[in-house]
Chains A and B, each alone.
Chain A
Amino acid sequence: SQTIHQWPATLVQPVGSPLSLECTVEGTSNPNLYWYRQAAGRGLQLLFYSVGIGQISSEVPQNLSASRPQDWQFILSSKKLLLSDSGFYLCARRWGLGTDTQYFGPGTRLTVL
């Protein structure tokens, strides 16, 4: 089976602090991976996607960055968090040719104070 892990599950950070969120995927090779952010009561905003090791596409210019050091690992980072970075961060993998099905990890709830 294919499983997506995310950690930490929750995080409270002060403004200006760094951030590192990790997503790992089991049970598949060379997955297309995504980072989304969801503000409270809102839809999902695509932040980054990756089609392979070292390949990152950014959708929204901001103070976040992403990296894919391993085929099964996708990391979201920031050097200095802003209040507006608070939200629910979801890692997803795309599955299935012609269906655009996305499977999501459990998410990380980030609060920036």
Chain B
Amino acid sequence: GQSLEQPSEVTAVEGAIVQINCTYQTSGFYGLSWYQQHDGGAPTFLSYNGLDGLEETGRFSSFLSRSDSYGYLLLQELQMKDSASYFCAVNTGGFKTIFGAGTRLFVKA
């Protein structure tokens, strides 16, 4: 089967750094994406890694190691508004994307 594993919950303090990991087992792999979803809202795209290495976009960074079937999302200088669910997603080829179950991030003051 195909699966993406990520922690169900992470808690961190405002101003801190948090890392959300994602490991995957899929029949095909063309890239790893990250999405943010606030309660009641739709997911919004954060970042994409098609090749190994680190991608940086402002306070958010994403890393991919294809040999380890592993990636992570790094959030720096945490703000209260970063409290949300974060999903990793794998493009398995063609038009298909598989999403993980999501990590609920709680940011405390």
Contact = CB atoms under 8 A, between A and B. Distances in A.
Contact of A99 (B44, B48, B101): B48
A101 B33 contact: yes
A3 B45 CA distance: 15
Interface string B34-76: 0100000111110010100000000000000000000000000
Contact of A104 (B31, B44, B91, B102): B44
Contacts of A105: 42
Given A98-B50, A104-B43, A105-B42, A43 B99 contact: yes
B48 A100 contact: yes
Interface in A71-102: 90, 94, 98-102
Contacts of A98: 31, 50
Contacts of B35: 102
B25 interface: no
Chain B interface extent, by class = 20 to 34
A101 B101 contact: no
B interface, by DSSP: helix, strand, loop or mixed? strand
Nearest to A91: B42
Contacts of A106: 41-42
B45 to A, nearest CB: 5
Interface string A21-56: 000000000001010100000111110010100000
A44 B44 contact: no
Given A42-B101, A43-B100, A107-B42, A101 B48 contact: yes
Interface of B: 4, 30-31, 33, 35, 41-45, 48, 50, 87, 89, 91, 95-102
Interface of A: 32, 34, 36, 42-46, 49, 51, 57, 59, 90, 94, 98-107
